[in-house]
Chain A
Amino acid sequence: MEKRVTFKGLWLPLLLVLPQIVITAVFFFYPAGQAIWQSLFIPDPFGLSMQYVGLGNFEYLLGNSYYRASFVTTAVFSILVTVVSMGIALYLAVLADRLIKGSGVYRTLLIWPYAVAPAVAGVLWLFMFNTRVGVVTWYLGVLGYDWNHVLNGGEAMGLVVVASAWGRISYNFLFFLAGLQSIPKSVIEAAAIDGAHFWTRFRTIVFPLLSPTTFFLLVVNIVYAFFETFGVIHTITSGGPQQSTTILVYKVFSDGFVGQDLGSSAAQSVILLVIVGLLTIVQFKYIERRVHY
């Protein structure tokens, strides 16, 4: 049975949760409320007056082909980031799990990229792929490939995906490794005696037993790709070329602070708010009934 502490009065518990409530109110409810409020208006460019337009901003957005394109871009981007970072992380974790000697060094080195801030990671990758002085660009040129992510939308997408996924591999790797190590060794041995070779074991035993970890990482990585990759995109492509890397969260910034359309920007924030809310519900629902073996 769960042990519950019960308070007799009302004031002490209230006092204890107050700091959390204040922080949430100031840093979450207030800005979120402002965004919702502003999404109903169109302010003039100098911020001197606001005109109430109801759901006009939303209507405009949903009818706007650039905004719909940004949805597709976001979907492509987050799926690629999630698949690439989780795929590579799982592969490395499986290798690390088999390693007996030197696994500590291997693990430590793999965790380092996680400590690099997204914007810095973006700059690093930008240097390597710079169209004039980038090392990788130069080698690709030697090989006969003309890399230019400034002009080529596909290459730009590839670059931001790689830069975003790179730092994320460490995080995913840690969770996958922990997941792999929590699978009892004897279960794997039993499967080996039952005749399953490595790949069969992975497919029929290891991967299914890893599914709680995989699902958790899936949600976390999608949220990451949606929101935390702003720095990478801002430093590498600034959403270009021709908006081919403008994901939703970047569009909030560029429409609001570059385009000065604060009403539309606020409306986009509200849409993102709903999306992240839904993702959180999925995640919580899942964690609530987490599979116990």
Chain B
Amino acid sequence: MATVSLEAIRKSFGSTDVIHGVDIDIEDGEFIVIVGPSGCGKSTLLRMVAGLETVTSGEVCIGGNRVNDLEPMDRDIAMVFQNYALYPHMTVFDNMAYGLKIAGTAKDEIVERVDSAARLLQLEDYLKRRPRELSGGQRQRVAMGRAIVRKPSVFLFDEPLSNLDAKLRVQMRLEIKQLQRRLGVTSLYVTHDQVEAMTLADRMIVMNGGIADQIGAPLEVYANPATEFVAGFIGSPPTNFLKAQSAEVTIPGAVTLGIRPEHLLLTSEPSPVAGTVLYSEALGAETLVHLRLPDASLVTVRQGATEPLPAEGTSAGLTWDASEQMLFDAEGRRCDQPAA
């Protein structure tokens, strides 16, 4: 268990800059999720912590020690890969025991540690099998078992759930969360799925184009996005963006107005913003109403299932509580006072 800190981390591949300076301090036992669209540099950031990529400039510290020049094996970390990266020619037991064997751990201790990890992950019945005889979820568990048995100070997860089907993903997400809580190991988790980020993270880092746009607790990020990108990326369905002018906002510098679907209300009274109802999606507990505004942009309203359904093709006005709106300047930065 250890703290991890990144200081002004930069990464370039040749002349291409991938990471433009990221700073973060991770506390001992914290679960940090790095989330962002593909190509934003989130995996590269993780691989630099792992030692699989060199750091162009900046400092990576694990447990207070600078590890920039240490080999992956000397950093006291364990990593779970997207494709699991199990050793295909070894049994589940050998897969989990590999690191311990290399470290020269005593045989009975290896057996004990692998067995306890297998119990924790419900893999006891599969220890003799090879990876190809396991299902995706089981392989994922073996990969986690391999990380656990070495008792590292930091866990690194590189999109560990993206190869699983939707149902299994939800289940494994819970298991990872429970496991991390129980073991209390500092974890860094990379994903492109904002739901995973919201549910797993103690704090999350939203990456955009090699920059950490925002670092904070999930609900705080959700409620108070620092940039237009974060507002659009976190939350599903995403935040609606309106032109500030058309919404009659007069704060200087404000170009775009963001408003989350659940904060929008349909009204039949005259309103500065109105649109045509395209279609409604009734999901049971809630209904999503999609409208097209006169400037051809699309807006989604999320309303309770008991609210009346507007007919398709009719026009409807939109209102919202001004305290819920978010204003962004031309560069996409927040330009109103974030509430609290």
- Per-position 1/0 for A194-212, Cβ under 8 A of B: 1111001000110011000
CA distance A104 to B88 in the complex (A): 29
Does B98 reach chain A (CB closer than 8 Å)?
A: yes
User: Knowing A195-B99, A196-B102 touch, does A186 contact B132 (C-beta < 8 A)?
Assistant: no
Distance of B239 from chain A, by nearest CB (Å): 35
- Chain A residue nearest to B102 (CB atoms) is A195
Contact of B73 among A194, A208, A292 (CB under 8 A): A194
Partner of A193, one of B79, B82, B83, B86: B79
A190 and B132 contact, CB distance less than 8 A:
no
Q: What mask results when residues 1 to 44 of chain A are scored 1 for a CB within 8 Å of chain B, else 0?
A: 00000000000000000000000000000000000000000000
Question: Beta-carbon contacts of B289-325 to A below 8 Å, as 1s and 0s?
Answer: 0000000000000000000000000000000000000
Known contacts A184-B83, A194-B98, A196-B102; A189 and B72 CB within 8 A of each other: yes
Judge whether A190 and B89 touch: CB under 8 Å.
Answer: no
Task: Check A187 for interface membership: any CB of B closer than 8 A.
Answer: yes
B190 within 8 A of A: no
| CB nearest neighbor in B for A205 | B87
Contact A186–B146 (Cβ < 8 Å): no
Minimum distance in angstroms from A198 CB to a CB of chain B: 11
Residues of chain B contacted by A205 (CB below 8 angstroms): 87
Tell me the B48-106 residues at the A interface (CB within 8 Å). 50-52, 71-73, 77-79, 81-83, 85-89, 98-99, 102-103
Q: A200 to chain B: which residues have CB within 8 Å?
A: 102
Chain A interface residue count, CB cutoff 8 Å, equals: 19
Which of the residues A192, A193, A293 comes within 8 Å of B89, measured between beta carbons? A293
From residue 29 to 64 of chain B, which have CB atoms closer than 8 A to chain A?
A: 50-52
CB neighbours (8 Å) of B78 from chain A are 193
B150 within 8 Å of A (CB atoms): yes
In the bound complex, how far is the Cα of B52 from the Cα of A172, in angstroms?
A: 30
Q: How far is the CA of A200 from the CA of B77 in the complex (A)?
A: 19
Q: A98: shortest Cβ distance to chain B, in Å?
A: 15
Contact between A187 and B87 (Cβ–Cβ < 8 Å)? yes
Contacts of A189 in B (CB 8 A): 50, 52, 72, 79, 81, 85
A193 and B50 within 8 A (CB): yes
Q: A191 near B: Cβ within 8 Å? A: yes
- Chain B residues near A196: list those with CB within 8 A: 73, 98, 102
- Say how far A217's CB is from chain B's closest CB, in angstroms: 18
> How many residues on the B side are at the interface (Cβ–Cβ under 8 A)?
24
In the assembled complex, the Cα of A14 lies from the Cα of B146 at a distance in Å of: 57
With the chains together, A187 CA to B89 CA distance in Å?
A: 11
Q: Which residue of B lies closest to A185 (CB)?
A: B85
The answer to whether A193 touches B72 (Cβ under 8 A) is yes
Which residues from B are CB-within-8-Å of A193? 50-52, 72-73, 77-79, 99
CB neighbours (8 Å) of B52 from chain A are: 189, 192-193
* Contacts A292-B132, A293-B132; A192 near B73 (Cβ below 8 A): yes
Q: Is the CB of A190 within 8 A of B79?
A: yes
CA distance in complex: A245, B85 (Å): 48
Task: Check if A186 sits within 8 Å of B73, measured CB to CB.
Answer: no
Specify the chain B residue showing the minimal Cβ separation from A209: B89
Most B CB atoms within 10 A — which of A192, A197, A209? Answer: A192
A195-B103, A200-B102, A293-B132 are known contacts. Are A190 and B73 too (CB-CB below 8 A)?
Answer: no
B-contacting residues, A206-223, CB 8 Å = 208-209
Q: Is the CB of B99 within 8 A of A184?
A: no
Which chain B residues lie closer than 8 Å to A293 at the CB level? 88-89, 132
Closest to A293 in B: B88
The smallest beta-carbon distance between A36 and chain B, in angstroms, is 44
Closest CB of chain A to B53's CB: distance in Å?
Answer: 10
Distance (whole angstroms) from the CB of A206 to the closest CB of chain B:
11
A292 to chain B, nearest CB (A): 7
Complex formed: what's the CA distance from A292 to B150 in Å?
29
Q: A186-B81, A189-B72, A189-B81 are in contact. Are A194 and B89 (CB under 8 A)?
A: no
In whole Å, how far is B9's beta carbon from the nearest beta carbon of chain A? Answer: 19
Chain B nearest CB, measured from A144 CB (Å): 46
Q: A189-B52, A191-B98 are in contact. List 10 more A-B contacts (CB 8 A).
A: A186-B81, A187-B88, A190-B86, A193-B72, A193-B77, A194-B98, A194-B150, A200-B102, A209-B89, A292-B132
A-B contact pairs, 22 of them (CB 8 A): A184-B83, A186-B81, A187-B86, A189-B52, A190-B79, A190-B81, A190-B86, A191-B98, A192-B52, A192-B71, A192-B73, A193-B72, A193-B77, A193-B78, A193-B79, A194-B98, A195-B99, A195-B103, A204-B98, A208-B89, A209-B88, A293-B88
10 smallest A-B Cβ distances: which pairs?
Answer: A194-B99, A293-B88, A186-B85, A190-B85, A195-B73, A195-B102, A186-B81, A193-B72, A208-B89, A187-B85
